[in-house]
């Protein structure tokens, strides 16, 4: 017994000594790095943890505050990992255009590496021949104008299903003026639209009941949430990872379960294509193009789950599984940032609109003038609705759904604004701060869609003052899809209904703060009252065949 106790004491002492030694080594290494290269200024890091415990929950605002003190380029340490945060349009241009080639890799956590099969998808792949091939596939085949137009009936079908759902909820109310949580209806549209576009099917029926594959789909997402919630300090301090190893067996079981479901769906589509031809869904397209683009099965599955399924789908499913519309700070950080920003975008736009009745009236005047009251809006009408599109653009500017661009990683040492960015450093663009910079925007914190009428401003990556979809080699290939769906959802909501705040609530009472995390949901879901504006038969959905 004595020998056992002695061994235990020695092991504890050895562990303490090792920890102190490694901490001292990390401090010396950081000091040496600062002396050897000219890093951007920033808050002083603590040993081992860096600035992790100084960062406020709403990171984007925290980084914007720090930028006021340290300048538009600064160093922030996540553990021993250097992050360079830029917060001006000029530096964004330098990062995303002028030095784009050296900064086009992806910074991946161990979990992201496992989920993406070491970057075989689109989102997490490092820049190189594989990424270029998959990117070309997405641009020319999956998100081409022809394919998006062919799949338009699906998008319009799901948006009209949302209108019918809202109408039914209003009709069921035994109390006039009952408010509803708009997010619930927006999330259903995004979920059903994207699963139909990607997999060619609804996993959840209109009555809210999931089929067998839908139950499995939700279970897989729920399991992924558990992995996300288990992240540790070791993600940011590599030499601690031996103390916090990944449960490789659990990850492999999760991957096998995901693959089984995906293969079943792929087999169904292969059989359907054999019998009646492709219907143009993304899984059909990938199977058709597999040989042409030399796609492995791992790559196809990775593209479907990580490259195409958007963050909002993950968010929605996790919310459904947990019975909540919100995730914690750490859980949100693990959600794949993908192509669909629609739910966040439309909820913020509607919050601005219900707080400003004059703005709502102006949009509805345009809708009534172009569409009238005898039919419903379609995507073909967008070119005749410039003010509606300006409202979407202004929401993208003031409330970008992913306010901190997905992290880039330096594949080689590079200089930005005269500072050294070492190889392996992570570079983050604070697009939220850039879009609110008073040096480049008049009344930057005001929701003013007219600015997009007064000036032709591109929001798809060519104007570095507003970058909701990124720019350069890593710009979002699904930007057009996201913009179309958001415009359609917003147009239908405002054409079919007049929206007001609940009784007794004033515009100042609406919580316009962001939730913690890397995606900027409203902290408090928007509640509003809907009143019909059109003939009742226009609230009934006629299901599409696709």
Size of the chain, expressed as the number of residues it contains: 546
How many other CB atoms sit within 10 Å of the CB of residue 239? 13
Give the DSSP per-residue string, 276-344: H-----HHHHHHHTTTTTT--HHHHHHIIIIIIS-HHHHHHHHHHHHT-S---HHHHHTS---S--HHH
**Quick check: 323 pLDDT over 80?**
no
Higher pLDDT, 487 or 271: 487
Task: Quick: pLDDT tens for 352-368.
Answer: 999 999 999 999 999 99
Give the pLDDT band of residue 543 (cuts 50, 70, 90). low
Answer whether residue 3 is part of any domain: no
Binding annotation for heme? 476
- How many domains, in total, are found in the chain? 1
Higher pLDDT, 275 or 480: 480
d(CA 154, CA 193): 7
Answer whether residue 13 is part of any domain: no
pLDDT of amino acid 120: 80
Answer whether residue 6 is part of any domain: no
In 3-state terms, what secondary structure has residue 526?
A: coil
Give the pLDDT band of residue 309 (cuts 50, 70, 90). low
Find the angle CA(50)-CA(52)-CA(55) to the nearest 5 degrees.
125
In 3-state terms, what secondary structure has residue 155?
A: helix
Binding annotation? 476
Answer whether residue 168 is part of any domain: yes
Q: C-alpha distances in angstroms, 82 versus 78, 106, 264, 422, 423? A: 7, 14, 42, 9, 10
Answer whether residue 4 is part of any domain: no
Answer whether residue 147 is part of any domain: yes
Range of the domain at 335: 37-539
In 3-state terms, what secondary structure has residue 387?
A: helix
Q: C-alpha distances in angstroms, 278 versus 150, 282, 286? A: 12, 10, 11
CB 355 within 8 A of CB 507: yes
> For 243-265, what is the mean pLDDT?
83
How does strand 408-409 pair with strand 180-181?
unpaired
Predicted TM-score (pTM) of the model is 0.86
Closest CA to 428 of 61, 60, 97, 101: 60
Answer whether residue 8 is part of any domain: no
**Quick check: 546 pLDDT over 60?**
no
CB 474 within 8 A of CB 427: no
pLDDT of amino acid 296: 87
Quickly list H helices, 406-523: 431-434, 451-454, 479-496
- Non-local (6+) Cβ contacts of 23 within 8 A are 47, 48
The H-or-E segment that residue 414 falls in is strand 414-416
Q: CA torsion, points 139, 475, 230, 212, in degrees to nearest 10?
A: -30
**Quick check: 324 pLDDT over 50?**
no
Give the pLDDT band of residue 31 (cuts 50, 70, 90). low
Higher pLDDT, 387 or 540: 387
Give the pLDDT band of residue 111 (cuts 50, 70, 90). confident
- 223 forms beta bridges with none
Q: C-alpha distances in angstroms, 420 versus 45, 91, 346? A: 18, 14, 39
End-to-end Cα spacing for the chain: 72
Give the DSSP per-residue string, 213-270: HHHHHHHHHHHHHHHHHT--GGGT-GGGTTTS---HHHHHHHHHHHHHHHHHHHHHHH
Q: Kindly report the CATH number assigned to the domain that includes residue 127.
A: 1.10.630.10
Higher pLDDT, 134 or 25: 134
> For 186-215, what is the mean pLDDT?
78
CB 51 within 8 A of CB 432: no
- 531 forms beta bridges with 498
| Identity of the highest mean pLDDT range in 188-202, 206-220, 290-304, 366-380 | 366-380
Give the pLDDT band of residue 315 (cuts 50, 70, 90). very low
Answer whether residue 17 is part of any domain: no
């Amino acid at each position: 017994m004595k020998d056992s106790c002695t061994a235990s004491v020695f092991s504890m002492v050895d562990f303490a000594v090792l920890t102190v030694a490694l901490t001292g080594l990390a401090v010396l290494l950081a000091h040496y790095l600062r002396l050897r290269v000219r890093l951007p200024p920033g808050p002083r890091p603590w040993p081992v943890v860096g600035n992790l415990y100084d960062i406020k929950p709403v990171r984007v605002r925290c980084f914007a505050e720090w930028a006021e003190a340290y300048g538009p380029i600064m160093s922030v340490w996540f553990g021993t990992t250097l992050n360079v945060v830029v917060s001006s349009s000029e530096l964004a241009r330098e990062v995303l255009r002028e030095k784009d080639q050296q900064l086009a890799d992806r910074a991946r956590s161990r979990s992201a590496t496992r989920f993406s099969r070491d970057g075989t998808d689109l989102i997490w792949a490092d820049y190189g021949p594989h990424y270029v091939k998959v990117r070309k596939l997405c641009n020319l085949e999956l998100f081409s104008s022809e394919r998006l137009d062919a799949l338009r009936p699906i998008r319009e079908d799901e948006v009209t299903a949302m209108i019918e759902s809202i109408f039914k909820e209003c009709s069921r109310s035994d109390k006039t003026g009952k408010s509803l949580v708009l997010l619930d209806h927006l999330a259903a549209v995004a979920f059903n639209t994207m699963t139909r576009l990607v997999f060619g099917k609804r996993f959840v029926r209109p009555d809210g009941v999931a089929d067998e594959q839908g139950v499995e789909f939700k279970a897989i997402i729920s399991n992924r949430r558990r992995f996300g919630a288990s992240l540790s300090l070791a993600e940011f301090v590599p030499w601690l990872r031996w103390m916090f190893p990944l449960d490789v067996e659990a990850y492999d079981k999760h991957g096998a379960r995901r693959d089984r479901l995906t293969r079943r769906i792929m087999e169904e589509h292969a059989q359907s294509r054999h019998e009646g031809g492709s219907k143009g869904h993304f899984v059909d397209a990938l199977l058709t193009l597999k040989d042409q683009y030399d796609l492995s099965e791992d790559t196809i599955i990775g593209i479907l789950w990580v490259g195409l399924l958007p963050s909002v789908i993950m968010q929605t499913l996790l919310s459904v599984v947990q019975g909540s519309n919100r995730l914690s700070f750490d859980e949100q950080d693990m959600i794949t940032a993908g192509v669909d920003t629609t739910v966040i975008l439309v909820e913020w736009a509607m919050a601005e609109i219900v707080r400003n009745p004059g703005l709502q009236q102006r949009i509805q005047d345009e809708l009534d003038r172009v569409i009238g009251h005898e039919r419903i809006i379609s995507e073909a009408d967008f070119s005749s609705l410039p003010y509606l599109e300006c409202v979407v653009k202004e929401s993208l500017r003031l409330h970008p759904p992913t306010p901190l661009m997905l992290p880039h990683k330096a594949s080689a040492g590079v200089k930005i604004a005269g500072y050294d960015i070492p190889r392996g450093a992570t570079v983050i663009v604070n697009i939220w701060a850039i879009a609110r910079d008073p040096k480049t925007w008049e009344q930057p914190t005001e929701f003013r869609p007219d600015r997009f009428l007064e000036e032709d401003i591109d929001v798809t990556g060519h104007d570095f003052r507003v970058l909701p979809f990124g720019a350069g080699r890593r710009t979002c290939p699904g930007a057009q899809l996201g913009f179309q769906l958001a415009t359609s959802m917003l147009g239908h909501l405002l054409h079919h209904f007049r929206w007001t705040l609940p009784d007794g609530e004033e515009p100042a009472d609406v919580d316009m703060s962001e939730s913690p995390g890397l995606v900027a949901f409203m902290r408090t879901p928007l509640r509003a009252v809907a009143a019909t504006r059109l003939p009742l038969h226009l609230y009934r959905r006629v299901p599409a065949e696709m």
